[in-house]
């Protein structure tokens, strides 16, 4: 089959690779019908996630048609259209029973690697390094889905791929980002990053009762989408001082809830940016956490900082004094996707959410290598790429 494979930083290739086969009784094989490139894939593309190997198949946002089933899968049939969450959950362990699916203890066969870095391991995930299990991803013609009986969600007839594809990751991620803010009536929510995750966080913050959302980025087309589609007020962080602007907009208090939808590769002008670059070069820091710092420092006392943005390892100069002395709550996590897929599907069916608005590029899978470069550089006003095998 054909697939997008990682060969090194900024080197993704459209390659011929072996077809996946059933390994365990609860596996299914999918014929992929749609897949997308995520902001998280850019961390792999830029070479910031350790333990990638040459030839690894990328992709964790995908859906398709069931073509083969293991004997342990009784709730699916050949021909079913399904969407798959990016993180793999067994459904039966301590964490899965508590619906903390992204902490599943059974799905990461390389847990020992993750334990060395993170103390305890996280879940397995598709196409996302050997630290998360080394699973082949779904930017491919076919993919093996483990524990398919608890992960694959059937798509109702009449819904298009584009309506449901983002249930695999970014829509639940935007929702969980807003949900863990604990939004109260009257709240103002500030969202750093107007990528697809930020766009969905804006919409979900309003769904969950925010009175105002203020979105921060520097790309005009992303800020425009946040205003026109999300109903947010916007701040261009290259044009004004974000801290001053937020104070002005909130009567000096600061936003009640702050969402970091940027993560480990924040773009940071000025001295702070140079500081993080230097520390990363010297291997004294693995991530550039400027947005996390700003979200903390700008949040009102007693407020909440929610972090859907991905961090990989060790960060520096996190203002813990501000967190402690001003009673800031920080909530974060790889999304417990399985928890949100069905309720969000229902909201899509009810017309409360239309996730298709973020899509700017629709391309055949073979154009994936170019699409990675376009998405990385935000060229051609690229916000979200959907690929068709
Ligand atoms: P993206 O690259 O499209 O968007 C990131 C945005 O952040 C860009 O628009 C960029 O201009 C903006 N940005 C960079 N520096 C900034 C700064 N200093 N201030 C304000 N904005 C800044 O990516 P995306 O797909 O929207 O993903 C966003 C983040 O969410 C990534 O870190 C991704 O890995 C993460 N993510 C997490 C989960 C999860 O399970 N928690 C799931 C999906 C994605
Ligand atoms: Zn993702
Ligand atoms: Zn589990």
What pLDDT was estimated at residue 238?
97
Residue 124 has a pLDDT of 98
Ligand 1 pocket residue status of 142, Cβ below 6 Å: no
Instruction: List, for residues 328-372, the tens digit of each pLDDT value.
Output: 999 999 999 999 999 999 999 999 999 999 999 999 999 999 999
pLDDT at 385: 98
Pocket probe for ligand 1: among 38, 125, 262, 305, the residue whose CB has the most ligand atoms within 8 Å is 262
User: For 51, which DSSP code?
Assistant: -
Strand, helix or coil at 6? strand
What's residue 126's pLDDT?
98
Q: Which of 261, 358, 373 to mutate to test the pocket of ligand 1 (most atoms within 8 A of CB)?
A: 261
Each residue's pLDDT tens digit, 199-234: 999 999 999 999 999 999 999 999 999 999 999 999
Would you put residue 40 in left (φ > 0), alpha (ψ -120 to 50) or beta? Answer: alpha
pLDDT value for 66:
98
The Å distance, Cα 20 to ligand 1 centre, comes to 31
Pairing of strands 11-16, 2-8: antiparallel
Q: What average pLDDT score do residues 275-286 get?
A: 92
Task: State the distance from the centre of ligand 1 to the C-alpha of 308, rounded, in angstroms.
Answer: 8
Which pLDDT value is given to residue 378? 97
Q: Tell me whether strands 385-388 and 361-364 are parallel, antiparallel or unpaired.
A: parallel
Q: pLDDT tens digit string along 285-301?
A: 999 999 999 999 999 99
> In angstroms, rounded to a whole number, what is the distance separating the alpha carbons of residues 221 and 226?
9
Mean pLDDT of 105-115: 96
Q: What is the mean pLDDT of residues 175-185?
A: 98
pLDDT digit string, tens, across residues 53-81: 999 999 999 999 999 999 999 999 999 99
What is the total residue count of the chain? 389
Other CB atoms within 10 A of residue 139 CB: 32
| The pLDDT value given to residue 202 | 98
- Residue 176 near residue 335 (C-beta atoms within 8 A): yes
Task: Please tell me the predicted confidence (pLDDT) of residue 81.
Answer: 98
pLDDT digits (tens, 9 = 90+) for 28-59: 999 999 999 999 999 999 999 999 999 999 99
pLDDT value for 383: 98
Per-residue confidence band for 382, with pLDDT thresholds at 50, 70 and 90: very high
Considering every ligand atom shown, identify the ligand nearest to the alpha carbon of residue 171 and give its number: 1
Average pLDDT of every residue of the chain: 97
3-state secondary structure of 247: helix
Average pLDDT for residues 115-128, to the nearest whole number? 96
Nearest to 261 by CA among 39, 35, 37, 36: 39
Token pair of 32, please? 């992929």
Look at residue 184 in the predicted model and tell me its pLDDT: 97
Handedness of CA 96, 98, 100, 106 (dihedral sign): negative
pTM for the complete prediction? 0.98
Q: Which of 381, 39, 340 is nearest to 192 (CA)?
A: 39
307 touches ligand 1 (CB under 6 Å): no
The rounded percent of the chain whose pLDDT value lies above 90 is: 99
Sign of the dihedral through C-alpha 333, 338, 341, 343: negative
DSSP assignment of 179-191 equals: HTTT--TT-EEEE
* Cα(51)–Cα(44) distance, integer angstroms: 10
∠ CA 32-35-37, rounded to 5°: 155
Mean pLDDT of 278-282: 92
Residue 87 to residue 123: CA distance in whole angstroms: 6
Cβ burial 285-303 (10 Å sphere, 16+ → b, else e): bbbbbbbbbbbbbbbbeeb
222 lines ligand 1 (CB under 6 A): yes
pLDDT of residue 292: 98
Q: Is the C-alpha dihedral spanning 341, 265, 42, 234 positive or negative? A: positive
Contact 371, 15 (CB under 8 A): no
Question: Other CB atoms closer than 10 Å to residue 49's CB: what's the count?
Answer: 22
Tokens found for residue 117: 């870095």
pLDDT for the residue 176 = 98
- Tell me if 267 CB under 6 Å of ligand 1: yes
Backbone phi, then psi, for 102, in 5-degree steps? -80, 5
Instruction: Spell out a b/e string for 325-347, using b for 16 or more CB atoms within 10 Å of the CB, else e.
Output: ebebebbbbbbbbbbbbeebbeb
How confident is residue 155, by pLDDT bands cut at 50, 70 and 90? Answer: very high
Instruction: Find residue 4's DSSP bridge partners.
Output: 14
* pLDDT attached to residue 351: 95
């Amino acid at each position: 089959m054909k697939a997008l494979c990682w060969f090194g930083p900024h080197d993704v290739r459209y390659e011929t690779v072996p077809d996946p086969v059933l390994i365990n009784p609860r596996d299914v094989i999918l014929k992929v019908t749609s897949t997308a490139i995520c902001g998280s894939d850019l961390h792999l593309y830029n070479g910031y996630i350790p333990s990638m190997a040459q030839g690894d198949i990328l992709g964790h946002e995908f859906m398709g048609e069931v073509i083969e089933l293991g004997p342990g899968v009784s709730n699916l049939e050949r021909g079913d259209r399904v969407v798959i969450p990016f993180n793999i959950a067994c459904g039966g362990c301590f964490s899965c029973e508590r619906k903390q699916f992204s902490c599943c203890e059974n799905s990461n066969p390389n847990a020992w690697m993750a334990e060395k870095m993170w103390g305890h391991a996280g879940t397995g995930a598709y196409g996302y390094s050997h630290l998360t299990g080394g699973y082949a991803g779904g930017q491919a013609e076919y993919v093996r889905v483990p524990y398919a009986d608890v992960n694959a969600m059937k798509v109702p007839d009449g819904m298009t791929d584009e309506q449901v594809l983002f249930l695999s990751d970014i829509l639940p991620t935007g929702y969980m980002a807003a949900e863990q803010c604990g939004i109260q009536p009257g709240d103002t929510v500030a969202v750093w990053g107007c990528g697809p995750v930020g766009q969905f966080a804006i919409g979900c913050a309003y769904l969950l009762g925010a009175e105002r959302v203020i979105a921060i980025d520097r790309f005009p087309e992303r800020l425009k989408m946040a205003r026109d589609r999300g109903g947010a007020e916007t701040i261009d962080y290259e044009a004004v001082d974000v801290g001053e602007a937020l104070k002005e907009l909130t009567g000096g208090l600061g936003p009640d809830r702050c969402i970091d939808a940027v993560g480990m590769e924040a773009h940071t002008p000025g001295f702070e940016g140079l500081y993080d670059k230097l520390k990363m070069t010297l291997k004294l820091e693995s991530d550039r956490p400027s947005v996390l710092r700003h979200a903390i420092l700008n949040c009102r006392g007693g407020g909440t900082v929610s972090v859907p943005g991905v961090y990989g390892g060790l960060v520096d100069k996190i203002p813990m004094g501000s967190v402690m002395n001003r009673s800031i709550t920080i909530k974060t996590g790889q999304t417990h996707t399985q928890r949100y897929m069905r309720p969000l599907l229902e909201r899509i069916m009810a017309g409360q959410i239309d996730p298709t608005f973020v899509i700017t590029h629709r391309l055949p899978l073979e154009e994936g290598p170019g699409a990675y470069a376009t998405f990385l550089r935000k060229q051609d006003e690229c916000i979200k790429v959907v690929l068709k095998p």
